[in-house]
């Protein structure tokens, strides 16, 4: 009897107050507070029809070109907004003012370039993904001081410089991805504010070298990715203090020698945590330090047989670790 009354009450509430609203062309999951608009012919952000109780919105593979503060005001409880692979070209100033609970914003693979001041202020963002856009300059005025961000992904853009002014707003940042840009150098002290940084991805850029002080205040780094750059040399003390590093990739660069003691601070490397493959190692007397380090730390290197000599011709293709003292003229 009680269960019948409960069902009758729910039926009455449903028809008195109406079914949970949902925007056209989208799917809504009221129990989860989630709305998904996937591969549909949307031209505008679907703010009409969104429930005020929505906490997660995913809009991907549509034709929307802009998002405004007014659009987001429809969902004041929003915590996650994923706008992957649309045609976004602009975002409104103070975009997040009406979503004071938003912690994750993903704008991957759009056409964003110039963004207004305070575009990411007002909300307690933890994760901001701007991957695969057309951003040339990441401005410091995007965020308020002392931002709560812990994860920033700017990979796949057109950056030529590290966004120093922006990074100064992020004392809590733990993950920074600047891969697949056009960075040619990391200015000294540009990463100094990031004392909590654990993961730094700089691969697929145009770095020729790293200045000695570049990583001096990033002692909490656990993962450092430098693959597929144009690194020709590294300062002797560039890794000084990086005692927490578990994985370091230096493959596909232009290294022919490394200085004595370069790898010694990396005492926490995981097994196969160091990748040195696809560099033009010159196997003469100057490679002695690398050779001896490999002898002692072979298990720390990812496929050590791929660390091979490019010169002299008599040793070309030989794994450095397989050489003998006489072959190196030691």
Q: Where are the domains of the chain?
A: 180-330
What was the pLDDT predicted at 9? 43
Is the pLDDT assigned to residue 57 strictly greater than 70? yes
SS (H, E, C) the chain: CHHHHHHHHHHHHHHHHCCCCCCCCCEEECCCCEEEEECCCCCCCCCCCCCCCCCEEEEECCCCCEECHHHHCCCCCCCEEECCCCCCCEECCCCCCCCCCCCEEECCCCCCCCCCCCCCCCCCCCEEECCCCCCCCCCHHHCCCCCCCCEEECCCCCCCCCCHHHHCCCCCCCEEECCCCCCCCCCCCCCCCCCCCCEEECCCCCCCCCCHHHHCCCCCCCEEECCCCCCCCCCCCCCCCCCCCCEEECCCCCCCCCCCCCCCCCCCCCCCCEECCCCCEECCHHHHHHHHHHHHCHHHECCHHHCEEEECHHHCCCEHHHCCCCCCCC
pTM of the model: 0.91
146-165 confidence digits (pLDDT tens): 999 999 999 999 999 999 99
What was the pLDDT predicted at 6? 46
78-121 confidence digits (pLDDT tens): 999 999 999 999 999 999 999 999 999 999 999 999 999 999 99
- Measured between alpha carbons, how far is 99 from 84 in angstroms, rounded to an integer? 19
- Measured between alpha carbons, how far is 294 from 302 in angstroms, rounded to an integer? 11
At 16, the pLDDT band (50, 70, 90 cuts) reads: very low
How large a percentage of the chain has pLDDT more than 70? 94
Q: Which CATH number fits domain 180-330: 3.40.50.970, 3.80.10.10, 3.40.50.2000, 1.20.1530.20?
A: 3.80.10.10
> 245-249 contacts: CB < 8 A, separation 24 or more?
245/221, 245/269, 245/273, 246/222, 246/270, 246/273, 247/222, 247/223, 247/273, 247/274, 248/223, 248/224, 248/273, 248/274, 248/275, 249/203, 249/224, 249/225, 249/274, 249/275
182-239 confidence digits (pLDDT tens): 999 998 889 999 999 999 999 999 999 999 899 999 999 999 999 999 999 999 999 9
């Amino acid at each position: 009897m009680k269960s019948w009354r409960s069902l009758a009450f729910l039926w009455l509430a449903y028809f008195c107050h109406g079914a949970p609203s949902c925007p056209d062309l989208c799917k809504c999951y009221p129990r989860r507070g989630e709305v998904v608009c996937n591969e549909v012919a949307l031209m505008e952000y679907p703010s009409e029809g969104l429930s005020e109780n929505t906490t997660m919105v995913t809009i991907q593979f549509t034709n929307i070109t802009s998002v405004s503060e007014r659009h987001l005001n429809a969902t004041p409880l929003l915590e996650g907004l994923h706008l992957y692979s649309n045609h976004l070209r602009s975002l409104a100033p103070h975009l997040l003012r009406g979503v004071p609970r938003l912690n994750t914003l993903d704008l991957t693979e759009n056409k964003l370039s110039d963004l207004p001041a305070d575009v990411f202020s007002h909300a307690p963002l933890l994760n901001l993904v701007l991957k695969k856009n057309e951003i040339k300059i990441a401005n410091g005025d995007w965020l308020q001081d002392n931002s709560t961000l812990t994860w920033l992904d700017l990979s796949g853009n057109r950056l030529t410089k590290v966004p120093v002014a922006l990074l100064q707003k992020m004392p809590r940042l733990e993950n920074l991805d600047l891969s697949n840009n056009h960075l040619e150098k990391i200015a000294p002290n540009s990463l100094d504010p990031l004392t909590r940084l654990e993961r730094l991805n700089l691969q697929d850029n145009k770095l020729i070298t790293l200045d000695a002080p570049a990583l001096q205040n990033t002692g909490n780094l656990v993962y450092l990715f430098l693959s597929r750059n144009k690194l020709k040399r590294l300062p002797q003390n560039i890794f000084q203090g990086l005692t927490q590093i578990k994985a370091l990739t230096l493959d596909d660069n232009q290294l022919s020698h490394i200085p004595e003691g370069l790898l010694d601070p990396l005492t926490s490397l995981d097994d196969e945590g160091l990748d040195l493959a696809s560099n033009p190692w010159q196997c003469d007397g100057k490679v002695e330090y690398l050779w001896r380090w490999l002898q002692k730390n072979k298990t720390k290197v990812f496929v050590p047989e791929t660390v091979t000599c490019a010169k002299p011709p008599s040793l070309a293709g030989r794994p450095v670790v397989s050489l003998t003292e006489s072959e190196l003229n030691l």
